[in-house]
């Protein structure tokens, strides 16, 4: 079915779509560009979608969910677990969970050794340890791509910003990016900013929990301006409580850098608010983000964060996502009781996962 399929393929280097055909040559898929576009295809081909923010420690704690259900079966070829797993739980993850997932996976290790099992993972601060975290990273470099910390009033009680300081130190020592969850205050956003460096990721950055990330008119706050100047990467991290249509729309009007589109899919958000990656991408399309920038945020940008060299090379495809854009209404809600109906929906039709095609 896939040989000589006409597609519009996403060129990550030039941030545009090119017409051509998807071919299978000597058992390997590749894209061949054709200069003439007869407009007869409505199928898009992109490098495999990467979800930079998920929770796939299935069966452990309140967030863990099934990887493949939010992975290749829904168009996502790489899932990044955003800190559900820590020093004390990674052995269990690797032994009992990892072998059950067919989708490619990476982890941002939680700075709390238990991972995110419940909401206050830093209650016993003496267990947080830079040296142990770095040792765990060294022993699991094949799968660990960063360090995760949650800083917001929904997580932090007496600990202040100490978990952030420790996580930032561990990430620095391991030469990996730090992903910082922001939410309710305290702590103030201005206290968080100094700990983030170029290439780190700020997730939930369009949340409506009250922190002064953006000014009321949608311009970046002073701290956000500093982070953007420094090259910190913004991630949507939608989840059940972290995405506001209003805040995103206002910020987007003033022009945003390239952002990551992580879903924050977990055991709750997959049943309400988020559902899957395609719904999140459709929301971004409905909120006037350009399709090319949406795809960049789910392919090239996360591939760079994960240091995946050939992920976006369509001349020799290992992982790719095929989708259509259907002109059908899509009713969506953000996390703050706002409902919007969008005109179009992004619908995955198949993935190439590690060289094999799967129909969706």
Q: Which stretch binds Zn ion (CB under 5 A): 128-136, 157-165, 249-257, 263-271?
A: 263-271
C-alpha span between 179 and 318 (Å, rounded): 27
Stretch 64-93: interaction string toward Zn ion, x if CB under 5 A: ------------------x-----------
The DSSP code for 73 is G
> Does 264 help bind Zn ion (rule: CB under 5 A)?
yes
**Shortest CB 77 distance to Zn ion, Å:** 20
240 vs 321, beta carbon nearer Zn ion: 240
The helix/strand/coil state of 326 is strand
**Shortest CB 307 distance to Zn ion, Å:** 21
Stretch 115-154: interaction string toward Zn ion, x if CB under 5 A: ----------------------------------------
**Shortest CB 211 distance to Zn ion, Å:** 16
Residues 6+ away with beta carbon under 8 Å from 73: 358, 360
Binding to Zn ion (CB under 5 A): which residues in 176-205? Answer: none
Q: Which residues of 47-83 are buried (b: 16+ CB within 10 A; e: fewer)?
A: bbbbbbbbbbbbebbebbbbbbbbbbbbbbbbbbbbb
The DSSP code for 94 is I
C-alpha span between 55 and 119 (Å, rounded): 14
C-alpha span between 207 and 246 (Å, rounded): 10
CA proximity to 81, closest of 95, 224, 315, 101: 101
**Shortest CB 349 distance to Zn ion, Å:** 28
**Shortest CB 142 distance to Zn ion, Å:** 23
What are the percentages of helix, strand and coil residues in the chain, rounded to 5?
25, 30, 50
**Shortest CB 203 distance to Zn ion, Å:** 7
Q: Which stretch binds Zn ion (CB under 5 A): 35-43, 211-219, 228-236, 262-270?
A: 262-270
The helix/strand/coil state of 184 is coil
Binding to Zn ion (CB under 5 A): which residues in 10-39? Answer: none
- Site for Zn ion (CB under 5 A): how many residues? 2
Q: Which stretch binds Zn ion (CB under 5 A): 37-45, 257-265, 291-299, 301-309?
A: 257-265
**Shortest CB 65 distance to Zn ion, Å:** 11
Q: Please give the residue ranges that form the binding site for Zn ion (CB under 5 A).
A: 82, 264
């Amino acid at each position: 079915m896939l040989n000589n399929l006409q597609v519009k393929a996403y060129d990550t280097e030039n941030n545009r779509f090119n017409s051509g055909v998807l071919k299978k040559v000597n058992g390997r898929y590749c894209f061949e560009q054709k200069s003439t576009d007869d407009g007869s295809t409505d199928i898009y081909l992109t490098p495999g979608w990467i979800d930079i923010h998920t929770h796939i420690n299935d069966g452990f704690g309140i967030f863990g969910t099934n990887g493949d259900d939010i992975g290749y079966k829904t168009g996502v070829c790489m899932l990044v677990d955003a800190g559900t797993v820590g020093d004390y739980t990674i052995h269990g993850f690797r032994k009992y969970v990892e072998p059950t997932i067919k989708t490619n996976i990476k982890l941002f290790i939680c700075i709390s050794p238990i991972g995110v099992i419940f909401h206050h993972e830093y209650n016993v601060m003496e267990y947080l340890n830079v040296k142990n975290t770095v040792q765990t990273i060294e022993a699991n470099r094949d799968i660990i791509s960063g360090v995760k910390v949650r800083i917001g009033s929904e997580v932090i009680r007496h600990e202040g910003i100490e978990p952030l300081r420790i996580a930032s130190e561990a990430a620095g020592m391991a030469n990996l990016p730090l992903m910082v969850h922001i939410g309710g205050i305290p702590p103030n956003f201005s206290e968080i900013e100094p700990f983030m460096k170029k290439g780190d990721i700020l997730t939930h950055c369009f949340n409506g929990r009250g922190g002064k990330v953006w000014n009321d008119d949608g311009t970046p706050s002073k701290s956000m301006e500093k982070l953007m100047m420094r090259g910190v990467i913004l991630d949507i991290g939608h989840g059940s409580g972290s995405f506001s249509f209003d805040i995103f729309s206002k910020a987007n009007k003033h022009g945003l850098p390239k952002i990551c589109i992580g879903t924050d899919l977990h055991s709750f958000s997959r049943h309400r608010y988020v559902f899957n990656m395609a719904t999140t991408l459709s929301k971004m399309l409905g909120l006037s983000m350009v399709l090319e920038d949406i795809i960049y945020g789910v392919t090239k940008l996360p591939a760079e964060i994960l240091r995946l060299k050939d992920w976006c090379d369509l001349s020799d495809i290992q992982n790719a996502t095929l989708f259509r854009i259907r002109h059908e209404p899509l009713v969506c809600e953000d996390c703050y009781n706002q409902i919007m109906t969008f005109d179009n929906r992004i619908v995955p039709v198949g993935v190439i996962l590690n060289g094999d095609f799967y129909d969706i």
